[in-house]
Amino acid sequence: MLQKSLKLSRVMLSVYYAYMVEYRAELLFWVLSGTLPLILMGLWAEAAQGGQFALGPTELVQYFLAVFLVRQFTVVWVIWEFEREVVEGKLSPYLLQPVDPVWRHFFSHVAERFARLPFAFLLGGLFVVLYPDAVWLPTPDHLILGLLAVVMAFCLRFVMQYTFALAAFWTERATAIEQFSFLLYTFLSGMIAPLALFPDAVRAVVLWTPFPYLIYFPASLLTNQGENIVQGFVVMLLWGSVFFALNRWLWRRGLRQYSGMGA
């Protein structure tokens, strides 16, 4: 059983890695399109020099560099593919295979991370040249916890988006849900500013939502900042299990609803 799943994941990873590397130019463009944190880095670094903010310019540059990297490793697009599969009926053949279709998507995302790695580090390196004072090294324990948080953030984001994607069984435009949730993600996850700069009341509310744990939490761990570490991991696990349960329930209901194109 274990051996079989190990083999399966190895095969899927190598297949999807080869597939991703084929479209290198496209991949480079995807990396470049995630420049929002770098734009905001400039704004905040400039602002922190003149204003009285809780964080200094160097800390902000480090934070946004970490945000950029975290974002690169937690990009998820499963809803677009899943919606197309359902609307065009392409899901049907996958249902016949003895593997849950979700693993296909999951491994294509994971494989893409490896293909993206060199581009992301190149762009990150460019900004290190631009702000040489900001270079920092995470301490070993922060590094381990931060990497763990990045992996968990990816899983959480994946399971959230896959849950929204299951709405495709009932509506033709499931991506509309994602577009709305992406707004919350953009503005509440810490991508536009570290949560330390939010008004206290807003921060208290936002910390109950899953969004800050997708970006802010791993990024602040990687910059040796993070507080309430245990609580952060617990919240991630809680939200993860809520979405996982919802996901499995919707999946079973949805399959009954699904008739397949032309079936």
Catalog residues that contact another protein under the rule CB under 8 A: 23, 25-26, 29-30, 32-36, 39, 42-43, 45-47, 50-53, 130, 173, 176, 179-180, 183-184, 186-187, 192-193, 197-199
Query: 183: buried, middle or exposed (CB in 10 Å: 19+, 13-18, 0-12)?
Result: exposed
Residue among 35 and 231 whose Cβ is closer to another protein: 35
Chain center to CA of 155:
8
How far apart (Å, rounded) are the C-alpha atoms in residues 43 and 132? 17
Closest separation between CB of residue 133 and another protein, Å? 13
Of 243, 178, 182, 187, whose CA–CA distance to 216 is shortest?
Answer: 187
Residue among 148 and 197 whose Cβ is closer to another protein: 197
Closest separation between CB of residue 102 and another protein, Å? 24
Opening angle at CA 229, ends 224 and 234, nearest 5 = 150
Helices 140-165/102-130 angle, 10° precision: 130
CB 251 within 8 A of CB 166: yes
As a dihedral over the C-alpha atoms of residue 120, residue 126, residue 129, residue 130, rounded to 10 degrees, the angle is -120
Closest separation between CB of residue 109 and another protein, Å? 16
Residue among 145 and 191 whose Cβ is closer to another protein: 191
Closest separation between CB of residue 77 and another protein, Å? 11
Residue among 162 and 211 whose Cβ is closer to another protein: 211
At 115, is the secondary structure helix, strand, or coil?
Answer: helix
- Which residue carries 């194109």 as its tokens? 261
How far apart (Å, rounded) are the C-alpha atoms in residues 221 and 136? 13
Opening angle at CA 22, ends 20 and 23, nearest 5 = 75
Closest separation between CB of residue 33 and another protein, Å? 4
Residue among 42 and 89 whose Cβ is closer to another protein: 42
131 HSE (CA, 13 A, CB side): 20
Helices 140-165/57-73 angle, 10° precision: 50
Closest separation between CB of residue 232 and another protein, Å? 22
Residue among 43 and 122 whose Cβ is closer to another protein: 43
Residue among 45 and 86 whose Cβ is closer to another protein: 45
Closest separation between CB of residue 191 and another protein, Å? 10
